[in-house]
Amino acid sequence: TLSQQAASGEMGRTTIIAIEFDGGVVLGSDSRVSAGASVVNRVMNKLSPLHEKIYCALSGSAADAQTIAEIVNYQLDVHSIEIGEDPQVRSAATLVRNISYKYKEEMSAHLIVAGWDRRNGGQVYATLKGLLTHQPFAVGGSGSSYVYGFVDAEYHRGMSREESQQFVINTLSLAMNRDGSSGGVAYIVTIDEHGTEEQVILGNQLPTFFDQ
């Protein structure tokens, strides 16, 4: 169910990120939801489960993004029962892409889909208005424009689980410091073949950089 505050909020003014590592993925987001110049929710978790080992990071209209996530979550549950096994990450991303494209005139949402499956391991997909791209990492939301240089410079293939988690935390910290529409706490989800690990990092526990 959607909370009244979240439903009226805007998550385009946010920071979301996902990255692949050898054996899994890490997703992260800030927690601030805005309505105009007002902050209507300081601690909303924008990392939504689509299945046991598949999550999405939400941006855009809070109500639209959450609605898409709930629809895909239901459809994947039905799909997994029909095929008798866990769904593939690409299947989840394709469902998100299809719904986003079908209702592109009515809905405003951008979801990054990431997870792990037996066939292809850890995967990250960006979905936007009918576009579906498999990427080693993806960033989104208003805060992303402040950190593209950082992620391009700091990312390298073959990063470990711990390096990827720190990469996500550092990116969120920088974005939340620069972008007035991003803030609150940092939510982190790490997924691999063994399961899902969720973390919440308070604002005063985030790493600091030169101008902070």
Write the DSSP symbol of residue 37: T
- 8 Å CB contact between 58 and 70: no
In this structure, CATH architecture of domain 43-143+156-201: 4-Layer Sandwich (3.60)
This prediction's pTM: 0.90
Rounded distance, CA 149 to CA 131, Å?
23
What residues act catalytically? 14
Tens of pLDDT along the chain (212 residues) come to: 334 444 557 665 789 999 999 999 999 999 988 766 666 667 789 999 999 999 999 998 888 999 999 999 999 999 999 999 999 999 999 999 999 999 989 988 899 999 999 999 999 999 987 889 999 999 998 889 999 999 999 999 999 999 999 999 999 999 988 876 777 899 999 999 999 999 999 978 888 886 65
Contact indicator for 113, 144 with CB cutoff of 8 Å: no
